[in-house]
Amino acid sequence: MNIIEIKNLKFTYDNKEVILDDVSLEIKKGSYTTIIGHNGSGKSTLARLIAGLLDKSGGDIWVNGLLLKEENLKHIRKEIGIVFQNPDNQFIGSSVKDDIAFGLENKCINPKEMDDIIFKYASRVGMENFLDKEPHLLSGGQKQRVAIASVLAINPSIIIFDEATSMLDPKGKKEIKDLIKNLHKDSDKTIISITHDIEEAYHSDYIYVLNKGKIFKKGKPNEIFNNSKELNNIKLDVPFNVKIKEELEKNKIKIESYNSVEEIVENLCRLKLKN
């Protein structure tokens, strides 16, 4: 079942600059979809349109069977949570607890239940020991984890990560990527991640590649990354294991599987023994 369906979506700034041009896509319920593309390809605009934060110029978006329009907006927003790029721009509360509570208050949750809910979701992201901490005492990765807890507390069926790891250091990046992976594994939430991280995309279920406001390619990771030239042409890179595979091919060596560096090394060993 598709939880999101988009048909012929168009978005222009001031009727001049075309940002998204005739974009159609489907996202399966419970899947982990990544959207990749160079800077300015329209990735973030697409995310904002799905969440109803921007008004489309044409086309239609369905979220969970509901057409995205003014009277459905309230319902649709309940289905969608977004984690943005900059950890400092989305911390609203004066402590971790307040920050998670903010969304719950807006949902008119009974204050008696609130503490339990907050604890539950703070634990989900490993921040239960930081509930009274102020934001400036947290690292970027920790702030993003709180942002994720705040989103989870609202219990949306879809979570959009809009370059949520790009401002973090490697440790923070890994924390958040692992958290996203676990969320995908342990819950039925639909995850959409807009990212420059090719390795992250490589491990997702399905990839949409955007270029100049159009869908350039879509498919499973191995289908997307089988041609680095094509991706390089639109300013994208391929994962390191694919690079090795291609460099070997240039030297007329074909290996059967290349899902990880380890696999490639084993393949090369076998080839070496044969000779």
Nearer to other proteins, 76 or 236 (CB): 236
Residue 61 parent element (H or E): strand 58-63
Q: For residues 10 and 253, what is the distance between their CA atoms, to the nearest angstrom?
A: 44
Residues in the chain: 275
Closest approach of other proteins to the CB of residue 128, in Å? 22
**Segment near other proteins (CB under 8 A); pick from 70-78, 144-152, 176-184, 257-265:** 257-265
Closest approach of other proteins to the CB of residue 204, in Å? 17
According to the binding rule CB under 8 A, does residue 261 interact with other proteins? Answer: yes
Closest approach of other proteins to the CB of residue 238, in Å? 9
Closest approach of other proteins to the CB of residue 16, in Å? 11
- Please spell the DSSP secondary structure of 204-215, one letter per residue: SSEEEEEETTEE
CA atoms within 13 A on the CB side of 25: 27
Q: For residues 211 and 270, what is the distance between their CA atoms, to the nearest angstrom?
A: 39
The tokens 């709180």 sit on which residue?
Answer: 146
Nearer to other proteins, 40 or 59 (CB): 40
Closest approach of other proteins to the CB of residue 201, in Å? 12
CA atoms within 13 A on the CB side of 257: 6
According to the binding rule CB under 8 A, does residue 272 interact with other proteins? Answer: yes
According to the binding rule CB under 8 A, does residue 18 interact with other proteins? Answer: no
- Please spell the DSSP secondary structure of 229-252, one letter per residue: HHHHHTT----HHHHHHHHHHHTT
Binding mask 79-118 for other proteins (x = CB under 8 A): ------x---------------------------------
Size of the site for other proteins (CB under 8 A): 36
Beta bridge partners of 26: 5
**3-state class of 27 per DSSP?**
strand
According to the binding rule CB under 8 A, does residue 212 interact with other proteins? Answer: no
Q: For residues 253 and 251, what is the distance between their CA atoms, to the nearest angstrom?
A: 6
Nearer to other proteins, 106 or 251 (CB): 251
Nearer to other proteins, 67 or 253 (CB): 253
Nearer to other proteins, 55 or 169 (CB): 169
According to the binding rule CB under 8 A, does residue 163 interact with other proteins? Answer: yes
Q: For residues 123 and 37, what is the distance between their CA atoms, to the nearest angstrom?
A: 33
Q: For residues 44 and 195, what is the distance between their CA atoms, to the nearest angstrom?
A: 9
Judging by DSSP bridges, how do beta strands 32-36 and 206-211 pair with one another?
parallel
**Segment near other proteins (CB under 8 A); pick from 118-126, 175-183, 220-228, 248-256:** 248-256
According to the binding rule CB under 8 A, does residue 247 interact with other proteins? Answer: yes
Chain positions contacting other proteins, by CB under 8 A: 37-40, 85, 139-140, 163, 166-167, 169-172, 196, 198, 232, 235-237, 240, 243-244, 247-248, 250-251, 253, 261-262, 264-266, 268-269, 272
